[in-house]
Amino acid sequence: MDEYVNNRIIGGSIVNEVTRETSGNKNDFIKRLDMLATTLSLNEDRKLISLEKYRLLFSTYKKMIETDVDHFFLEKQKQSKVVESLQRSQDFLTYKNHTLLWEAFGKMRSDDPTDFMLFSVLTNLVEDEHVSPQFFGLIVYKKENKLIVVKVDSEEQFSSGQVSYAKIPVTKAEMLSKIIYFERDSLNPRPFSLLKDIELLSEGFQVIPALTIGRQGMDHSKTKEVEDTLKVLLFHCRTDIFSLDTAGKVTPVWNPFVNQANLEMRKRFLEAVKGENKT
């Protein structure tokens, strides 16, 4: 676990540091602190994370990239495009109809790893209300006349590995936008309903065998899959995940040249939370 960051939160330092900067904005601060605790697996609340908390989470990710002056996450020339894609992913949380998502797919650039949409999806594992649902992440890219849907499922609950992808013809982009949009607001989705629908629109998910998601102890945070998915998409900005040598295994990291990169990311996440509350 990230001891440095956790000690600062548990010891109360973050409250002392941030509260001084957020007078008149107490409710937003409480939401952000709760979101931060959830992200760091300190919040044991088993209730589903709200769309508002995801909005705050995406906003914090954006701030991390915007303030990445030493290029910890990615090169300077790619940062603004990634921020733009994260903003579009955040905007999806407030879309009032599926056509806005369809239009967003239509505007995406082809063969550009910085141009994507990031989704967090909740699914039931079985038809049993007593079994906790599972979160997984999706990234949508455009490649020529296809939409590439990358699935990140570190727990391998679905039968297509930790990281896999499906190719969907752009002629089916409206249908894809519909199923993602309506799944967003579903309170009791069928087991793996969205993934099964994506399989019907494509030729199924293909595993990326060289890509593996590293485990971080007993991390059961509701936002872990989103974080894993962000790590994969930033890795793809540096290394083409679709062209990896299948003879070996690669684990995406925040920065391959920095020791304790996970700890460094947590520090930057904390600073981004504080920075967001200054605005």
One pLDDT digit (tens) per residue for the chain, 279 residues: 444 444 444 334 444 444 444 444 556 655 665 655 555 554 444 445 566 777 888 899 999 999 999 999 999 999 999 999 999 999 999 999 999 999 999 999 999 999 999 998 877 665 556 555 677 899 999 999 999 999 998 877 777 789 999 999 999 999 999 999 998 887 666 777 899 999 999 999 999 999 998 755 445 455 778 889 999 999 999 999 999 988 889 999 999 999 999 999 989 998 988 865 554
Looking at residue 109, its pLDDT comes to 96
Count of Cβ atoms closer than 10 Å to residue 210 Cβ = 16
Nearest to 129 by CA among 25, 53, 48: 48
Angle at 54 between CA 52 and CA 56, to 5 degrees: 75
* Distance, CA of 74 to CA of 254 (rounded, Å): 9
Burial class (CB in 10 A: 0-12, 13-18, 19+), 134: middle
d(CA 46, CA 129): 13
Separation between Cα atoms, residue 33 and residue 8, nearest integer Å = 12
Taking the complete model, does pTM exceed 0.85, yes or no? no
